[in-house]
Amino acid sequence: MTDHKIINDPVFGFIRIPKGVLLDIVAHPDFFRLSRIRQLGGANMVYPGAQHTRFQHSIGAFHLMSKAIRTLQTKGVEISEAEATAVEAAILMHDIGHGPFSHVLEHTLTSGVNHEEVSLMIMEKLNQEFDGRLTLAIKIFKDEHPRHFLHQLISSQLDMDRLDYLRRDSFFSGVTEGNIGSARIIDMLDVKDDRLVVEKKGIYSIENYLVSRRLMYWQVYLHKTGVAAEHVLINALNRAKDLARQGVELPCSPALQFFL
Q: How far is the CB of 99 from its own copies (least distance, A)?
A: 18
Q: For residue 178, count CB atoms less than 10 angstroms from its CB and return exposed for 0-12, middle for 13-18, buried for 19 or more.
A: buried
**Burial label, 253 (beta-carbon count in 10 A; 0-12, 13-18, 19+):** exposed
Task: Evaluate whether 25 touches 93 at the Cβ level (below 8 Å).
Answer: yes
Instruction: Please say if 115 is a catalytic residue.
Output: yes
Cβ of residue 11: shortest distance to its own copies, in angstroms? 8
In 122-238, beta strands by DSSP E: 189-192, 195-198
CB closer to its own copies, 19 vs 239: 19
Selected catalytic residue, list 52, 115, 151, 223: 115
Taking the complex as a whole, the smallest distance from the CB of residue 114 to its own copies amounts, in Å, to 25
Crossing angle of the two packed helices 160-173 and 54-74, in degrees rounded to 10: 130
Interface residues with its own copies (CB under 8 A) are 1-4, 6-11, 13-14, 35, 38, 44, 47-49, 51-53, 55-56, 59, 74-76, 171-177, 179-181, 183-184, 187, 204-205, 207-209, 211-212, 214-215, 218-219, 251, 253-254
SS3 24: helix
Query: Shortest gap between Cβ of 156 and its own copies (angstroms)?
Result: 20
Question: Residue 121 or 256: which CB sits closer to its own copies?
Answer: 256
Indicate which residues carry an active-site annotation: 115
